[in-house]
Amino acid sequence: MALPETDHPPWPAADCVRLTVDLVAGPANVRTVRKLLAAAARIVGATDFETFIIEVAVGEVLVRGRLLVRDRTGAVTLCAELSQSRCVVSVSEPDTGRQGGAPGNDQAEERLRWGLYIIAQLMDEVEIRPSAGKGQTSILRLVKHLGKDRNVGGGA
Amino acid sequence: MDRATWLTCWVDRRETVAVVRIRGEIDAFTSADLERCFAAALADAPDQVLIDFGEVTFIDGSGLRHLDRFQQECRDRGMALSLARPTASVRRLLESVMDRMLPVRDLSCPG
C-alpha cells in the first residue's frame, strides 16, 4: 500500500535554520528569542561577533514593540532564516487599528531612534514596511551577511 | 547566573577614581539599573570613572544609549571616563556604534 504524501515540505539542508516564533514581547520572551537566534547563528557557523550582533539586533527589534504606541499588545511574529552566508530576520506585527505610531513621550521616541540607529549600524540591510492599515501588518526585516570576518580573527 | 538577577552593578571607590562594576546582561529591562549606577558613580565628583566590563555578557541599544549619555555627562563635567576588560565582541560593538570610542585601560592602573 502506498504511503500518503506528506503535507510537510522537504527538510531543509542541514546548514540552514528556519524559525518562526509567535511571541508577546515581554522580558522573558525577548530574552529567550534573542538567545534562540544567537544559538541558531552559531549552528550555521557564525563567528562570535556575528552571533553577538545578531542577538543585539534581534533584541532591539523585539523591544521596539514595547516602546511604541499604547494599546499595542506586543504580539509579534518573528521569522528567521539562517545559513552560512546570511541571516535574515523579519518581525511582523498586526495592525489592530489602535496604533497611532507615536510613543507619546520624548524619552521613548529617543529610545526608538537610537534602537533604529543601532540596528542600521550592525545590519547590512534594514527594511521597514509600515502597515497599510487595520488588518495589515508592519514588517521590519534585517539582513546580516555572514562570513565576512572569518578570516580576520572574528572570534571573541 | 543568579536566577534572581540578570544584572548587578555597583560602584567601588579608589581615591579619586570611581569604578563601576557590572555583572550580567544589560538590556532594555535592566538598563535602568545601569543608569542609576552611573548616577551614583558621579555622586562624589570623582576625577575619573572606570567602567569594568569584564563580566558583561550582553549589552543592547538601551545600554549603549545610557553609556553614550554617561560619556557626554562625564565630558561635560570634565571627568575622564574609560573602560576596562571589555570582551572582544563588546569592544567591537562599541567601536561600531559609538561616535567616540572610550579608551580601554587596565583595571589595576586606571590612571
pLDDT digits (tens, 9 = 90+) for A77-105: 999 999 999 999 999 988 776 655 555 56
What residue type is B39 in one-letter code? A
Write down the mean pLDDT value for chain B. 90
Total CB pairs under 8 A between chain A and B = 66
The C-alpha atoms of residue A116 and residue B42 are separated, in whole angstroms, by 29
Instruction: Please say whether the beta carbons of B26 and B34 come within 8 A.
Output: yes
How many other C-beta atoms are found inside a 10 Å radius of the C-beta of residue A113? 11
pLDDT at B99: 79
Residue of A nearest to B86 (CA): A156
Q: How confident is the model at residue A153 (pLDDT cuts 50, 70, 90)?
A: very low
* Neighbour order of strands in the sheet with A86-94: A17-24, A75-82, A86-94, A137-145, A125-129
- Please tell me the distance in Å from A11's CA to the nearest CA on chain B: 33
Query: pLDDT at position A70, please?
Result: 46
pLDDT at A69 over 70: no
User: What grid cell was written down for A138?
Assistant: 508592519
Q: Cβ separation of B89 and A52 shorter than 8 Å?
A: yes
Facing A56 at nearest CB: one of B87, B88, B93 = B93
pLDDT at A155 over 50: no
- Nearest-by-CA chain A residue for B59: A56
Question: Once rounded to an integer, what is the mean pLDDT over residues A109-124?
Answer: 88
Place of cell 515581554: A26
* Residue-level pLDDT, tens digit, chain B, 111 residues: 455 589 999 999 988 999 999 999 999 999 999 999 999 999 889 999 999 999 999 999 999 999 999 999 999 999 999 999 999 999 999 999 887 888 888 776 554
Least Cα distance to A64 among A89, A36, A85, A88 occurs for A89
Nearest-angstrom CA–CA distance, A101 and A92:
15
Contact A122 B96 (CB under 8 A): yes
What average pLDDT does this structure show over A69-80? 74
Q: Cα separation of A103 and A115, whole Å? A: 14
Task: Assign A150 a pLDDT band (cuts: 50, 70, 90).
Answer: low
Residue B101 has what pLDDT? 83
Contact A118, A60 (CB under 8 A): yes
Average pLDDT over residues A9-38: 85
Report CB contact under 8 Å: A114, B92. Answer: no
Q: What is the average pLDDT value for chain A, to the nearest integer? A: 81
Identify the band that residue A147 occupies on the pLDDT scale cut at 50, 70 and 90: confident
Residue A137: pLDDT band (50, 70, 90) is confident
Interface of A with B (CB under 8 A): 27, 30-31, 48-49, 52-53, 55-56, 59-60, 63, 66, 110-111, 114-115, 117-119, 121-122, 155-156
Residues of B in contact with A60 (CB under 8 A): 60-61
Answer whether B54's CB lies under 8 Å from B23's CB: no
